[in-house]
Homo-oligomer: A and B are copies of this chain.
Amino acid sequence: MTDTLVRPVTAQPRFEAARAASRVLATATSAQKDAALHAIADAVAGSADRVLPANELDLAAARTSGLSAGLQDRLILTADRLAALADAVREIARLTDPVGQVLRGSTLPNGLHLTQQRVPFGVVGAIYEARPNVTVDITALALKSGNAVVLRGGSAAEQTNRALIQVITDAIRSTGLPADAVQTVDDFGRDGARQLMQARGLVDVLVPRGSAGLIETVVRESTVPVIETGAGVVHVFLDAAADTTMAVDIVLNAKTQRVSVCNALETLLIHRGAADRLLPPVLAALVEAGVTIHGDATVCAAFPAAVPATEQDWAAEYYSLDLAVAVVDDLDAALTHIDRWSTHHTESIVTNDLTAAERFLAEVDSAVVMVNASTRFTDGGEFGFGAEVGISTQKLHARGPMGLAELTSTKWLVRGSGQVRH
């Protein structure tokens, strides 16, 4: 008899194990779940010996395969980064447990008592790329909201994620909750993602986190319901009645405070009636901050250093110190431009005109619509949610920054005394 290593062909048993664990988690108390989170935090903080050598293997492979410097940076773990991850888990433990919250209720004329209550989804799937911090983060968010989780973290971080998941499941087991609550399909390679996307009935919701291409693939191929997160072609509109200083401050902050995030500004629109007043100080501040201006004809005429913008610029999510700038005839033209090019993430108007502000709030169809504020505020932490699962750009279930409540479903409880229907 030979002892061969057989690679499993189906992840079905893992999905079923996650589902069985989810039934235990669904009725676990907040105290039990928080104990597990603190055990995970302590274990992650002390996991350098187990995790960093695995991370070294991934980094060596990344250098060989020529992974971009940006992705390599996201992949690196250090003792400090592990400590920060542990702190983030402790923060999540401190949040209010959404499970059991009563949302609506009534007593019907026939005496039936109805209560709509938050319950965990059951099993949450996560598909992401080369970011081991997401492994810890999404696991903690899922457990806190009573869900089991199935992770697909991408081949570039496979060794790191395997080590982290081992650390996490050991910690969960030590507290008496089921270690099966955290599963991975990373060892199935690309087929793991495929199986996860087809696990309808065993996995209740899928949250893809990563590039637009990754999210598009998941939306197209998944039969499990998906919460789409991410892409942000974010606009600021400087209205005719915009205060000059406020316009400069908000545009500069929205574009340059952090460029590689989805709530950063990508296209600036300026009312023609205020262009002469606003363009010079706004563009000067941007250029001083190192921003390259991609302008329409009016902008290029007024500001020769601008690069002429093409259609691609209006659709671009630069993630860099680049900004598309257009002068528009009026608020209606701004709304039309936004409707055409926005990814419906966040848009902001700068104005002191109440009518313009209210029209902008009412007519822009985005997850977050702002007046006189930097688009960088679209963030679960800034909104006071304490944690962020991602920013939903779809309209079903969750829209905008998602906190723990967005990782729950609801169920109706009906308490009667023998009622039948006539």
For chain A, residues 385 to 422, give those with C-beta under 8 angstroms from any C-beta of chain B.
394-397, 399-401, 409-421
Binds B, one of A55-63, A183-191, A369-377: A369-377
Q: Which residues of the other chain, B, contact A310 by a CB distance below 8 angstroms? A: none
CA distance A377 to B420 in the complex (A): 8
Determine whether the beta carbon of B339 is less than 8 Å from that of A418.
no
CA distance A396 to B408 in the complex (A): 9
CA distance A413 to B200 in the complex (A): 34
Determine whether the beta carbon of B421 is less than 8 Å from that of A369.
no
Interface size on A, residues (CB 8 A): 71
Determine whether the beta carbon of A372 is less than 8 Å from that of B223.
no
CA distance A254 to B121 in the complex (A): 28
Q: A296 contacts the other chain (Cβ, under 8 Å)? A: no
Q: How many copies does the complex hold?
A: 2
- Evaluate whether A421 and B108 lie within 8 angstroms (CB atoms) in the complex, with A219-B223, A223-B219, A371-B415 already known: no
Determine whether the beta carbon of A114 is less than 8 Å from that of B419.
no
Determine whether the beta carbon of B400 is less than 8 Å from that of A412.
yes
Determine whether the beta carbon of A373 is less than 8 Å from that of B416.
yes
Residue in B26, B252, B394, B420 whose beta carbon sits within 8 Å of that of A253 in the complex: B420
Determine whether the beta carbon of A27 is less than 8 Å from that of B362.
yes
Q: Measured between C-beta atoms, what is the minimum distance from A197 to chain B in Å?
A: 12
Q: A141 contacts the other chain (Cβ, under 8 Å)? A: no
Task: In the A-B complex, list the 5 residue pairs whose CB atoms are closest, starting with the nearest.
Answer: A373-B416, A253-B420, A395-B409, A397-B397, A376-B421
Residue in B243, B250, B411, B417 whose beta carbon sits within 8 Å of that of A368 in the complex: B411
Residue in B23, B243, B421 whose beta carbon sits within 8 Å of that of A363 in the complex: B23
Can you list 20 residue pairs at the A/B interface with Cβ under 8 Å? A23-B365, A106-B384, A122-B365, A122-B395, A204-B395, A249-B418, A365-B411, A367-B411, A368-B414, A369-B414, A370-B415, A370-B416, A372-B415, A373-B414, A374-B420, A376-B420, A376-B421, A377-B421, A396-B397, A400-B412
Per-residue interface assignment for chain A, residues 107 to 147, with 1 indicating a CB less than 8 Å from any chain B CB and 0 otherwise: 01000101010010110000000000000000000000000
Residue in B250, B377, B397 whose beta carbon sits within 8 Å of that of A112 in the complex: B377
Residue in B121, B369, B414 whose beta carbon sits within 8 Å of that of A370 in the complex: B414
Determine whether the beta carbon of A383 is less than 8 Å from that of B219.
no
CA distance A384 to B412 in the complex (A): 13
Q: Which residues of the other chain, B, contact A220 by a CB distance below 8 angstroms? A: 223
Q: A361 contacts the other chain (Cβ, under 8 Å)? A: yes
CA distance A26 to B377 in the complex (A): 25
- Evaluate whether A121 and B397 lie within 8 angstroms (CB atoms) in the complex, with A257-B420, A377-B414 already known: no
Q: A205 contacts the other chain (Cβ, under 8 Å)? A: yes
Q: Which residues of the other chain, B, contact A420 by a CB distance below 8 angstroms? A: 249-250, 252-254, 257, 373-374, 376
Determine whether the beta carbon of A416 is less than 8 Å from that of B204.
no
CA distance A141 to B414 in the complex (A): 26
Q: Which residues of the other chain, B, contact A225 by a CB distance below 8 angstroms? A: 225-226, 394-396
Q: A366 contacts the other chain (Cβ, under 8 Å)? A: yes
Q: Which residues of the other chain, B, contact A394 by a CB distance below 8 angstroms? A: 225
Q: Measured between C-beta atoms, what is the minimum distance from A391 to chain B in Å?
A: 10
Q: A246 contacts the other chain (Cβ, under 8 Å)? A: yes
